[in-house]
Structure formats: C-alpha cells, structure tokens
C-alpha cells in the first residue's frame, strides 16, 4: 500500500518515539471551500460561549444535582462564562498552557462544562476519557499524549479515582497535576481551589485542534481524534438545526458527557450553541432520569438502544410526567426496527435515529421524515458536503442499494488520527476518505441503513470494545496460549463479548472467573472484561489458514 498524501498544513507534533509527524488535516483548497460554503464560520468554543453570555446572560445554561448533599445547582450563561475564565486563569497560573494535553475524566456535572470551556479558552486540549476507564486506559492516554494534568472526581459510583490517579501518576512522566472535583481531594489539589482572577488570553485560532476525542477502536490501543473548533462547531450547528433546538430546549445529558453523542449530537455543546439549557443526569436509569425530565421540563435527550428499551419498558405506569419530552435520539449501536416502533407509543415523543462516530460523520433521521423511514433507517448526513462511498473489498463503488463498506469524507470528518502514521495509512484512503468499518446500504430515498460491521470490534450496547486490546490482556496471562474475542448476540445489549481461549500446554488450569479477574486487575474498564470465556483446543481457520472470527462468531450465535 502506498503512503497517503500528507497535506502540508496540520498539527505539528511528534510521536512518542520522538519522530516528527504531522497529523493529516484538510488540504488548504478543501478548507477554503468549507469556509466559503459557510460550513466553517470561524467561531471558537471560547467565543461561542462569550457571545451567548453577552446575548442572554441570565438564562440558565447548565443544571446539575452535584452540590453539597446532592443539591441542585444552576449556572446562568454569565456564570458559566465567568467560571470558565476564572478556571482558565487558575490553570494558566499553574503553568498549563496552549497546546498542553489534559486528560478529563469527569462524571455528568457542571464542572465538566466549566473545565472544557476553560481549556478551550486556554488552548489546552482536553483528552476525553470516560468514567469507566481504569489504569490501563488512563495511563495510556496520559503517556501517549504527554498529558500534564488529569482531572477526576474523588469517588464516583463507589470507585476511588484518587487511588487510580496515584497509579497513573507513577506511570506518566509528563503528568504534573491531578485536580479533583467534589469533596476530599486526598493528596491532590481540589479543582475548586484553582479559579483565579481572569487574565486576558489570546483568542484561539478556529482552525486549530480544540480537543482529542477517543475512537471506539479496533486495534490494540485506542486512537485519538483531533477535532478543530471550526469542524466541531459546524457539527453542533448542523445537529442543533436538524433536532430543532432553540432557547426553549432543555437537553438531558444522560450518557457519559464526554462521549461524542451526548457532547455534540446535538448534546450539551449543541444545546449551548442554540442558547438552551443542559441538565446533567448522573445516571441514565429511568428512576434517576424520569424525575429530572418532569422537574426540569426536559424536551430532548439521547440514549443508546438498551437504555431506550429500558426507558420504554419503565414508561408504562410511571408516576412521573414525561410529557415535556419532544424528542428521543437513539444511536451508538443499531436500534432494531421493532424497538424503534415502540418508542413513540411508550414515551409519547418523536424518535430520531443517529448513526455517528467520534471521527466525524453523523447521520440523523429528520423530524419530518415519514414514520417508516424513522424506524427502519439510520438517517442521512448532516452536511450537503458529506461525501459517502459504499464500496466492495477492493474499494470499488457498489450500485445504489447494495451493502458494502462505508467510506466518508467531509467538513467535520477527520483526515487522520493524532500521531498514528501507520494506522492512518490503513484507516484512510489516499484521497482522504475515512474507512468507517461499518457495512451499510443506501435506500432509494438517500437514507443509510447499517447492516453490520467489518471492523474487529464488539459494540456492547453502544460501548465499543476493540477485540485486539482485550486479546492482548488475555495473552499476558501465563496460562493463555492464544485468545480471540468476538461479539455474540445479547437480548438486552445487542452484543456482548465472548473470548475463545486456548490454554498453554502444561500450564496450571485457570478458570474463566480467574481469567476475568486477571483482566480486570490489569486495570481495564469493566465493560471490556469478556462477558463469557470459552476454552477450546483450536480455532477454526479460513482456507488460507488464518483464524476465522466469522466461524467463531457463528459458534456463539444461537442455532
């Protein structure tokens, strides 16, 4: 395979090994076209919040229930704007500066938004970790990005992130600061003590990278996705229009706030773009979310399919008034047509399906699509400039209606992962199309239907697991000779993970429970620990002798 063309502009950086490498970005002529078309409006996140705070300072921007003893807190746009400035000043005083990376692992609280806007204003790059990540993932994010700071909740869902931070700190030479929200910071600094008198900061360039998002991934380690102000603000604007957000919209952030879906589709940032109100929901379970919908007058939210099913079931006979809810977005994994049909009758709201990816492309069914399109398709792209190709294994375009590999390119889809030259050569075509790894077809009406996946990944109810990452952890066990992780059907999650393991000859017999514990203790997020482990003597192989994951999956499927 030949090397992809490397546009000259980009984020100059170096690989961890020190080799200079420029992360590919949009070629200059393409960028100029996106600006001329008005997709890129030259607005930074810092300026966006400033504008909104000037236009409607007293309107509530964000609500959470993370005050002392779980009390309600509401920040107006003016509050959020000022708090972001004060936090930026305090972080700057601690030496955090433009271009620095900061790993953010916060639950759904107002601090999450304060912090990311503070970092956007500083020009420091949030690296968006999920609360479920543990030492394995966080240490990797910190060391790979050379992060200087890591921000955590003290204790969240019974887990002490301060202990995790101690482990991470010992493994991450560049890490200088750990900031803790909510209560006792332990040996670290409380984020509440950081804010200082605002200082003037240079305005950021809208074309620069604003943050690093995580890929679902299909390789040994997660890849990092550089998103610019220009491209991401465009995806927010497009999403807000498609979901008809305005200043009366109240968005419930029920999924983990840092994930691309609740962040931008249209998510908390799209809601702030539109001047609406974000309600932070600590957990997405109906008993937590339903009272918030009632009390806060929530109009729109987004869920992964298993949660949409749980909400649909719980809505029958609920004492809570859900009548304010206008729209439920469902995405992250395939929603079955049958489940889709149940949503409006049960919840009394419109459904919008979302098929998106942190790398860029986001498709929505539209609110004026006919009901059959809404329940049977995953929508169409945000932008008229989103380019879609559906190809065979040799990258040849297929006739309309045929199922094939989805390739995409456009004004908010990255041209390369951050510092990943070898991977970029495989994950993008020479002319800059991203290989999504999804198998899709196009309906005559121009909507996409997701039919499957070619990437080596398990989509566990919207949580993505790279098979290779888990296999590597299993292989580290002395009694494991070889391991293959595949998806198997699950009635609730859609898919769960199953590890097929060949034991090492003569090694002590380790059972499934012990092997799961081993993987967990290596510091892997709980959702990546195999749901099932099956010991086998050999793996099925293809005609050329390669291990056939297809046949392994078939073994897992119900007869």
Q: Examine residue 260 and tell whether it contacts ligand OOB (CB under 6 A).
A: yes
The contacts of residue 170 (CB under 8 Å, 6+ apart) are none
Spatial strand order of the sheet with 177-181 comes to: 189-190, 177-181, 149-153, 101-104, 125-128, 209-214, 224-228
Point out which span in 67-75, 149-157, 182-190, 331-339 binds ligand OOB (CB under 6 A): 331-339
Binding mask 332-351 for ligand OOB (x = CB under 6 A): xxx-----------------
Among 145, 353, 383, 497, binds ligand OOB (CB under 6 A): 353
Q: Return the beta strands (E) in 304-446 as ranges.
A: 327-331, 350-357, 360-364, 380-381, 387-391, 404-409, 434-442
User: Does residue 211 belong to the site contacting ligand OOB (CB under 6 A)?
Assistant: no
Footprint of ligand OOB on 392-451 (CB under 6 A): 436, 438, 450
Which residue's CB is nearer to ligand OOB, number 69 or number 452?
452
Residues 381, 520: Cα–Cα separation, whole Å: 38
331 counts as binding ligand OOB under rule CB under 6 A: yes
**Selected binder of ligand OOB within 127, 142, 169, 362 (CB under 6 A):** 362
Q: Residue 353 Cβ, how far from ligand OOB at the closest point, in Å?
A: 6
Report if residue 265 touches ligand OOB, rule: CB under 6 A: yes
426, 431, 482: which is closest to 454 by C-alpha? Answer: 426
Restricted to residues 21-80, the positions that interact with ligand OOB (CB under 6 A) are none
Distance of alpha carbon 125 from alpha carbon 119, whole angstroms: 6
Report in angstroms how near the CB of residue 556 gets to ligand OOB at its nearest: 19
Going through 114-176 in order, the beta strands assigned E by DSSP cover 125-128, 149-153, 155-156, 159-160
Which residue's CB atom is positioned nearest to ligand OOB? 356
Our CA dihedral for 86, 89, 91, 97, rounded to 10 degrees, sits at 140
For 28, list phi and psi in degrees, rounded to 5: -55, -40
Q: Does 162 bind ligand OOB (CB under 6 A)?
A: no
Q: Which helix (H) or strand (E) holds 451?
A: strand 448-453
Q: Which position among 357, 390, 480, 529 is part of the footprint of ligand OOB (CB under 6 A)?
A: 357
Question: What whole-number distance in Å separates Cα of residue 255 and Cα of residue 259?
Answer: 8
User: Residues 250, 358, 448, 474: which binds ligand OOB (CB under 6 A)?
Assistant: 358
Q: Does 464 bind ligand OOB (CB under 6 A)?
A: yes
CB of 538 to ligand OOB, least distance (A): 30
SS3 content of the chain, % helix, strand, coil (to 5): 30, 25, 40
> Judged by CB under 6 A, does residue 487 bind ligand OOB?
no
Q: How far is the CB of 333 from ligand OOB (least distance, A)?
A: 5
Cα–Cα distance between 315 and 303 in angstroms, integer?
Answer: 15
Question: For ligand OOB, which is the closer residue by CB, 270 or 282?
Answer: 270
| Residue 261 near ligand OOB by CB under 6 A | yes
355 part of the interface to ligand OOB, by CB under 6 A? yes
- The answer to the question of residue 251 lying near ligand OOB (CB under 6 A) is no
Closest CA to 127 of 99, 153, 155, 108: 99
Q: Find the shortest distance in angstroms from Cβ 459 to ligand OOB.
A: 6
- Smallest separation (angstroms) from ligand OOB to the CB of 150: 22
**What is the distance between the alpha carbons of residues 122 and 70, in angstroms, rounded to a whole number?**
30
DSSP state of 491: T
Pairing state of beta strands 177-181 and 189-190?
A: parallel
Site membership for ligand OOB, residue 198 (CB under 6 A): no
Token pair recorded at residue 469: 């990452």
With binding defined as CB under 6 A, does residue 356 bind ligand OOB? yes
User: 509 φ, ψ to 5°?
Assistant: -75, 115
Q: Cβ of 512: how many Cβ atoms within 10 Å?
A: 14
Of 364, 306, 302, the residue nearest 328 (C-alpha): 302
185 or 302: whose CB is closer to ligand OOB? 302
Of 185 and 216, the one with the shorter C-beta distance to ligand OOB is 216
Residue placing its CB nearer to ligand OOB in the complex, 149 or 448: 448
Taking CB under 6 A as the criterion, the residue among 105, 352, 378, 413 binding ligand OOB is: 378
Nearer to ligand OOB by Cβ, of 182 and 302: the residue is 302
Q: Which positions lie near ligand OOB, rule CB under 6 A? A: 216, 260-261, 265, 331-334, 353-358, 362, 378, 436, 438, 450, 453, 459, 464
């Amino acid at each position: 395979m030949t090397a992809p063309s490397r546009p000259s502009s980009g984020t100059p950086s170096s690989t961890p090994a020190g080799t200079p490498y420029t992360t590919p970005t949009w070629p200059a002529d393409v960028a100029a076209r996106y600006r001329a078309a008005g997709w890129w409006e030259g607005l930074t996140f810092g300026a966006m919040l400033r504008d909104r705070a000037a236009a409607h300072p007293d309107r509530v921007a964000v609500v959470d229930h993370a005050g002392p003893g779980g009390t309600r807190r509401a920040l107006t746009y003016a509050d959020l704007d000022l708090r972001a400035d004060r936090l930026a000043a305090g972080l700057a005083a601690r030496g955090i500066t433009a271009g620095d990376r900061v790993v953010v692992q916060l639950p759904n609280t107002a601090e999450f938004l304060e912090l990311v806007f503070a970092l956007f204003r500083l020009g420091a790059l949030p690296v968006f970790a999920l609360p479920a990540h543990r030492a394995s993932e966080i240490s990797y994010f910190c060391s790979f990005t050379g992060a200087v700071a890591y921000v955590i909740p003290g204790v969240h869902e019974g887990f002490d992130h301060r202990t995790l931070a101690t482990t991470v700190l010992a493994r991450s030479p560049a890490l200088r600061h750990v900031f803790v929200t909510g209560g006792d910071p332990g040996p670290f600094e409380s984020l509440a003590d950081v804010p200082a008198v605002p200082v003037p900061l240079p305005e950021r360039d809208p074309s620069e990278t604003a943050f690093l998002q995580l890929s679902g991934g299909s390789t040994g380690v997660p890849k990092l996705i550089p998103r610019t102000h220009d491209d991401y603000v465009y995806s927010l604007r497009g999403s807000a229009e498609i979901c008809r957000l305005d200043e009366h919209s109240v968005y419930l952030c029920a999924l983990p706030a840092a994930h691309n879906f609740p962040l931008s589709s249209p998510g908390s940032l799209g809601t702030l773009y539109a001047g609406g109100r974000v309600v932070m929901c600590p957990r997405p379970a109906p008993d937590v979310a339903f009272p918030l919908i009632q009390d806060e007058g929530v109009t729109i939210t987004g869920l992964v399919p298993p949660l949409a099913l749980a909400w649909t079931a719980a809505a029958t006979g609920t004492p809570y008034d859900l009548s304010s809810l206008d729209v439920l977005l469902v995405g992250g994994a395939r929603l079955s047509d049958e489940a889709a049909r149940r949503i409006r009758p049960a919840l009394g709201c419109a459904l919008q399906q979302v098929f998106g990816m942190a790398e860029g492309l986001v498709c929505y069914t539209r609110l004026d699509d006919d009901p059959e399109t809404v329940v049977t398709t995953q929508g169409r792209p945000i932008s008229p400039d989103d380019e879609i190709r559906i190809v065979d294994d040799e990258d040849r375009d297929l006739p309309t209606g045929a199922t094939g590999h989805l390739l995409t390119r456009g004004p908010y889809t990255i041209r390369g992962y951050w510092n990943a030259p070898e991977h970029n050569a495989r994950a993008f075509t020479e002319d800059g199309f991203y290989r999504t790894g999804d198998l899709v077809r196009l309906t005559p009406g121009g909507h996409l239907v997701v039919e499957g996946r070619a990437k080596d990944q398990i989509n566990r109810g919207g949580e993505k697991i790279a098979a290779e990452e888990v296999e590597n952890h299993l292989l580290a066990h002395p009694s494991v000779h070889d391991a293959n992780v595949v998806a198997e059907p699950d009635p609730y999650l859609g898919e769960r993970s199953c590890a097929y393991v060949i034991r090492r000859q003569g090694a002590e017999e380790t059972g499934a429970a012990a092997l799961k514990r081993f993987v967990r203790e290596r510091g892997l997020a709980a959702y990546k620990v195999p749901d099932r482990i099956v010991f086998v003597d050999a793996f099925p192989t293809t005609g050329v002798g390669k291990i056939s994951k297809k046949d392994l999956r078939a073994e897992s499927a119900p007869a």
